[in-house]
Amino acid sequence: MEFGAAGPLGGGQDEPWGPAAPAMDDLDLHDEPPPPYHSVVLQSTVEAPSTSGRQSGSGTYGVPASSEFEIRVTDPVRQGEGVAAYVSYKVLTRTSAPGYRESAEVIRRFRDFTWLQKRLRREYRGVIVPALPEKSVVEKYKMTGEFVEARRAALTVFINRVAAHPILKRSRDLQLFLEASETEFAIEVSRSQVDDPVAVQGAAKKTLSGAVSFLRDLGHTASNLYHKRTDDEEEDAEYLKVRAYVFELERHLGEAHRQAARLVRHQAELGESVREFGAAMASLGRYEESGLVADSFGQLGERAEAVSRLCGESSEGLAASFEAPLKEFVRTVRAVKKVMADRSGALAALQQARSDVDARRQRLAKLRGTPGIREERVAEAERDLADAQQKAEAAKAAYEAIVQQMSGELERFQRERAQEMGYVLRDFALAQAQVSGETARLWASLVPGLAAAAGGGGAGGS
C-alpha cells in the first residue's frame, strides 16, 4: 500500500487536490458562491438549491458526479410528543442503477438509517461505511428546527455516500431502504433481526456464557503474553503508521471543527453587533440639527444594516460549507477507526483460535503419552484439535479478508478526503474574500457623504 510523499494519508505532491487556486487579482468576488456542502456529495448529485438559488449538477466541490443515483432527504415531520417523539423524512431516489426502479419515494426515520448502517457494517467487514450524525437525547427532546435541519442534511450526505460507494451501492439492504414501502420495510427489518444470531441469542447468551468467556479470554491473554504475540508485532508496519496517523487526525480535525464552530458563532454575533450599532447611529441621527450630519448618521445605519445581513448570510454559509464538512470529516475518521477496531478484533480472534489449537495439541500429546489412557479420550481430543484447527483457519480467512478489503478502502479514504478537504479550504478562502470585499464596498460607499458632512456640516452638531 503506497501513500503520498507527505506520509500516510497525507497530502503529498501526487495527491489530487483539484485545480490550483487563482490569484486574488484574477478573482471576481461577485461570482456565484460555491453550493452548500449538504447539497452536493462526492460522486453523487443532490437536487438542492445552492445559496444563489441555482441547482448544482456536479459532485462535491468540482468532483464529477455519478450518473447512477440522485437521492434527497426532505420534508422532516415531527411525529408524536415528548420522549417518544421522532422525525420522519421523505427519501426521494432517482437512479439508473440496474435492478432499481427509476424513481422511488419512501418515508424513513433516523433508526432506519441506523439499521442500514449496521447491516452494511456486518455484511461488508473491512469497508469504511459512511458515518451517521451523532445521537443527542437532549437535542431530540428539544427538537429545534436547527437540529432537525442539521440532521436532515447529514442524513443526505450519509445516504448519498453509501450510494456512491463502489461496493456498498450493490447492497440489497440499500435497495430495500430506498424502495420498500413502510410496511414492507418494517417486515424486512423484523425478519433480519430474527435471522441475526446476535439479536436472537442476545442477552441470554451473554448471561449464560459471560463468566466462561471471561475466564477463557483471560487464559488466551496470558497465553498471548507468554508467546509475545501482540497486534503490533503481527500487523503490517505500513498499516501501523496509517493507524497512528488516523488517531492523530481525529484529534486535530476535532479541534479544527471546534474552532470552525466558534468562527460561525463569532460571525453571527458580529452581524448582530453591527445591526445594533447601526440602529444606535440611526437613532442618534434623528436628534441632529444639521441636515448633512443627520443624513450621514442615517446612511451609516443603513450600511450597518446591510453589513449585518451580510454577516448573517456569511455565518449561515460558513455553517453549511465549512463547519458541516469538518464535522463530517471527524465522523468519517471515526468510521475508519471502527473498521480498524474490527480488524483488531479479527486479529485477536485469530490469536485466540491459535491458542486453542496449541492448548488442544498439548492436551492430545499429553493423553497419548499417558499409559493406559482410553482410546475414546484420545479420539475425543483428536476431534477437539481438528475442530480448533478448522476454527483457526476460518478466523485466519476472516482476518485476511478484512486486511485485503481495507487496503483499497484506506487508499480510497486518503484520496477522497484529501481532495474534498482541498476544495473545502479553497471555497472557505474564496467565500471569506467575497464577504470581505462586499463589506469593504458597503463601508466605502459612505466615504463621499461623510466627507461632505465633515467639510460643511460642522455647525449645529450635537
Average predicted confidence (pLDDT) for the chain: 79
pLDDT score, position 142: 67
Q: Which of 166, 186, 206 is the last residue in one of the domains?
A: 186
Q: Are residues 157 and 287 in the same domain?
A: no
pLDDT of residue 126: 95
Q: What is the mean pLDDT of residues 26-48?
A: 39
pLDDT at 406: 92
pLDDT at 421 over 90: no
Confidence of residue 56 (pLDDT cuts 50, 70, 90): very low
Q: How confident is the model at residue 51 (pLDDT cuts 50, 70, 90)?
A: very low
Q: Which of 36-45, 122-131, 217-226, 446-455 has the lowest mean pLDDT?
A: 36-45
Q: What is the rounded CA–CA span in Å between residue 71 and residue 275?
A: 39
pLDDT number for residue 203: 43
User: Which one, of 354, 450, 345, lies nearest residue 393 by Cα?
Assistant: 354
Please say whether the beta carbons of 132 and 73 come within 8 A: no
Highest mean pLDDT among 19-28, 141-150, 270-279, 364-373: 270-279
User: Of the given ranges (145-149, 200-204, 450-454), which has the lowest mean pLDDT?
Assistant: 200-204
In a domain, 374, yes or no: yes
| One domain, residues 182 and 257 | no
Residue 230 pLDDT class (50, 70, 90 cuts): low
> Do 326 and 452 share a domain, yes or no?
yes
The CA distance from 423 to 19, in Å, is 9
Q: What pLDDT does 234 receive?
A: 82
- 418 and 299 in a common domain: yes
CATH number at residue 327: 1.20.1270.60
Percent of the chain residues topping a pLDDT of 90: 50
Number of domains in the chain: 2
Q: Looking at residue 196, what is its pLDDT?
A: 64
Centroid of chain to Cα 127: 15
Of 139, 163, 186, which residue sits at a domain end? Answer: 186
Q: Is residue 282 located within the same domain as residue 155?
A: no
329 and 406 assigned to the same domain? yes
Q: In this model, does residue 162 exceed pLDDT 60?
A: yes
pLDDT in tens, 60-80: 333 334 568 999 999 999 988
Q: What is the mean pLDDT of residues 170-192?
A: 94
Residue in the block written with cell 485477536: 348
Range of the domain at 141: 37-186
Residues 256, 358: one domain?
A: yes
Q: Are residues 249 and 117 in the same domain?
A: no
> Does an H or E element contain 72, and which?
strand 69-79
Q: What share of the chain is helix, strand, coil (3-state, %, to 5)?
A: 70, 5, 25
Q: What is the CATH number of the domain that holds 177?
A: 3.30.1520.10
pTM reported for the whole predicted model: 0.75
**Does residue 213 lie within any of the structural domains?**
no
pLDDT tens for 123-143 read 999 999 999 998 876 666 667
Residue holding cell 495439541?
Answer: 361
Q: How many CB atoms lie within 10 A of CB 340?
A: 19
For range 403-423, the mean pLDDT: 89
pLDDT confidence tier of residue 111, bands split at 50, 70 and 90:
very high
Domain boundary among 170, 186, 202: 186
Cell numbers representing residue 294 in the block: 443627520
Q: How far apart are CA 68 and CA 102, in angstroms?
A: 10
Looking at the domain assignment, is residue 295 inside a domain?
yes
In the predicted structure, residue 250 carries a pLDDT above the cut 70: yes
Provide the pLDDT for residue 254: 93
Quick one: pLDDT at residue 231? 58
Of residues 424 and 29, more confidence is placed in: 424
Residues 274 and 413 in one domain: yes
pLDDT in tens, 331-380: 999 999 999 999 999 999 999 999 999 999 999 999 988 888 888 898 99
Answer whether residue 206 is part of any domain.
no
pLDDT band at 195 (very low <50, low <70, confident <90, very high): low
Same domain as 304, residue 400: yes
Has residue 177 been placed in a domain? yes
Residues 169 and 249 in one domain: no
pLDDT of residue 1: 40
Q: How large is the greatest C-alpha to C-alpha distance in the chain, in angstroms?
A: 123
Higher model confidence: residue 47 or residue 174?
174
Q: Are both 430 and 301 inside the same structural domain?
A: yes
In a domain, 70, yes or no: yes
Answer yes or no: is pLDDT of 270 > 90: yes
Predicted pLDDT of residue 447: 87
> Would 81 be classed as within a structural domain?
yes
Res 442: pLDDT: 92
Q: Is 8 inside any structural domain? A: no
